[in-house]
Structure 1
Amino acid sequence: MILKDHLRKEGKVSKEDYPITIVGDIHGQYYDLLKLLEVGGDPGKTQFLFLGDYVDRGSFSIEVLLLLYALKINYPDRIWLIRGNHECRQMTAFFNFRDECEYKYDIVVYYAFMESFDTIPLSAVINGKFLGVHGGLSPDLILLNQISSFTRFQEPPRSGIFCDILWSDPIDEDKEEHAIHNEAYFPNDIRGCSYFFGYNAATTFLEKNGLLSIIRAHEAQLEGYKIHQTNIKTGFPVVITIFSAPNYCDVYNNKGAVLKFDNNTLNIQQFSFSPHPYHLPNFMNLFTCLLNRGLD
């Protein structure tokens, strides 16, 4: 109840100042979250903005949420959470978070987490210059205050601004691609929903809203981050992707990274994965696992 009260009061666009550490996808990698907090700074002295996708795929999503929620309650003016596309009923039932809740606790705990997800803000503005979202932009999103025009206290819809800021991806067109598409947005056929948005879409949105760059998560990166195309007017990247789950799913062998702002200086700090206890796939028990292997 205390947590939901904190999150409900924050509105859909929260505003944070420097210094701040910005964190991308975590995906249930609790032991990497502990390392991330060592790298990112003391939560009692440094603000943290988490860009969503706290759950699924990893085996310790509950532990991730309990730690983040405890930090939010203890440091309500320093810990900021926004919602990712996995913070919903559809994705957590399809992937493994619902199974994790039922395995470790029960379905009541799962439903309580779902209710908490419905209160998480959708975006953040950092120092009046940077927009933090999980996914990206929407063709329907012209002005930032439009995010305040709909209710977030619900399961994300399958289309519209709410959907797109959780699901969309930037695309780095070269000149030939841009000539072919010649559009700011086009359907995201890789994800099967939402859109790709290009350089023109990003620069137009940033200029209309007096912003410098979009900082987002949502896509695994080998180095833990990606600096997208540079704005020819400002000399600053129009989009920065940050991904904070090293060795993603125990197979990608990627680095994790966080983005740190302090005194108008941007630094990206990388970190490697941390060892973690082993769980059988889908939280299968040992007896069932051995039985299945015996039947093969």
Structure 2
Amino acid sequence: MLEIEHPLTIVGDIHGQLDALIRYFDAVGYPPKVQFLFLGDYVDRGAKALEVSLLLFCYKVRHPHMLHLLRGNHECMKMNRLYGFHEEVTRKRGSTMWRRYQNVFNELPLCARVGQRILCMHGGIPQNYKSWDSFRELKKPKTPKKCDEGLQVDLMWADPTQDKCNVFAMNMQRAISVIFGEKALTDFMKKLGLSLIVRAHEVSQEGFNFMFDRKIVTVFSAPYYCGNDTNCGAIMHVSPSYEISFTVLRPRMILTPENTDVVRQMENNYKTLMALSPDPNRGRHLQPVQPAQLAQLAKTGLKLVEPPKK
């Protein structure tokens, strides 16, 4: 487990979208000006996963204390062999490079505590843990089999659910790990003295999504995910005083008879949640969330504010 101090910016799934990554850096600043925590899933799905990962590795080498990388479920061999990274790296650099990547992925940590109040991971909370020592003593899974065991599998794969699952249940949709409800999350946070859980792993139409009275937030940073023309990407900022804000990469769609209802619904959502920007930004908008339209985070002492200026 990483122990990180704030302020910092948290980035969710990138999935090989180099252009989105560069636009985020352009919007909020590059390392070491800004401290970043990435929640995993750098590879697969997108066309430039090799370039994304190499850029992040270079920043990690150059500024090791200002850029932190967690492991997502796609940084496991069984996933990135099937969903595009193996084919991309083999085509561009050969199969030896792909095998070396697996060695690097095996060394990535699985979770990070920000200050004393925020816990970050790619997937979700684990079912079996005892205390903070369970996380500090966590072994990095270095084989495909160990990626599917214990705390490791839940930190990379688990999902929150609004269904009638109040505690933990099998994750039937993914056929691995667990889903967890609000009671399980509340008990987990109370036991560890946490105010907020930050995770990635699931696409969100607005780029981020709060659940369970704002105790947990999903941050998804890859817009146009898998060819989806409607989803935004977002990154999250944590200030020195634990103030939370977001920068959103918004798709800009052309109105057609086929998508009129979808576009109008999106615009209504944005008018409620976001300060609209007139700048098309090469087909996409980079804009901050309007905090006045979002309630203060309940019972946590965290609040939403404007993102930091570049």
Q: TM-score, length-normalised on structure 2?
A: 0.77
* CA-to-aligned-CA distance 1:244-274 (integer Å, 9 cap, x gap): 0011122242111000011321101101368
**2-side partners of 1:68 and 1:275: how far apart?**
24
| Residue of 105, 118, 121 corresponding to 2:93 | 105
| CA root-mean-square deviation | 1.7
1:33 maps to which residue?
Answer: 21
1:171 maps to which residue?
Answer: 161
Contact 2:210-2:216 within 8 A present in 1 as well: yes
1:160 deviation in Å? 1.8
* CA-to-aligned-CA distance 1:86-134 (integer Å, 9 cap, x gap): 0011001111100011110101100111100000011100111100000
Contact 1:40-1:258 within 8 A present in 2 as well: no
Corresponding letter in the other structure for 1:190: Q
**1-side partners of 2:58 and 2:117: how far apart?**
29
| Residue of 74, 85, 90 corresponding to 2:78 | 90
**2-side partners of 1:66 and 1:104: how far apart?**
13
**2-side partners of 1:36 and 1:71: how far apart?**
15
| Residue of 51, 66, 87 corresponding to 2:54 | 66
1:127 maps to which residue?
Answer: 115
Q: Say which structure, 1 or 2, has more relative contact order (CA 8 Å, 6+ apart).
A: 1
- Structure 1's unaligned 5+ residue stretches are 1-12, 231-236, 277-296
Is 1:161 aligned to residue 151 of structure 2?
yes
- Give aligned pairs, total: 251
Equivalent positions of 1:233-272 (< 5 A) are 237-264=214-241, 265-272=243-250
- Structure 2's unaligned 5+ residue stretches are 252-280, 284-310
Distance 1:157 1:263, change over 3 A: closer
Identical-pair percentage: 34
| Residue of 186, 195, 198 corresponding to 1:212 | 195
Contact 2:113-2:119 within 8 A present in 1 as well: yes
Is 1:187 aligned to residue 165 of structure 2?
no
Runs of 4+ in 1 over 6 A off after TM superposition: none
1:66 deviation in Å? 0.5
Q: Secondary structure at the match of 1:272?
A: strand
Corresponding letter in the other structure for 2:156: L
Contact 2:76-2:147 within 8 A present in 1 as well: no
1:17 deviation in Å? 1.6
Contact 1:143-1:205 within 8 A present in 2 as well: no
**1-side partners of 2:138 and 2:121: how far apart?**
16
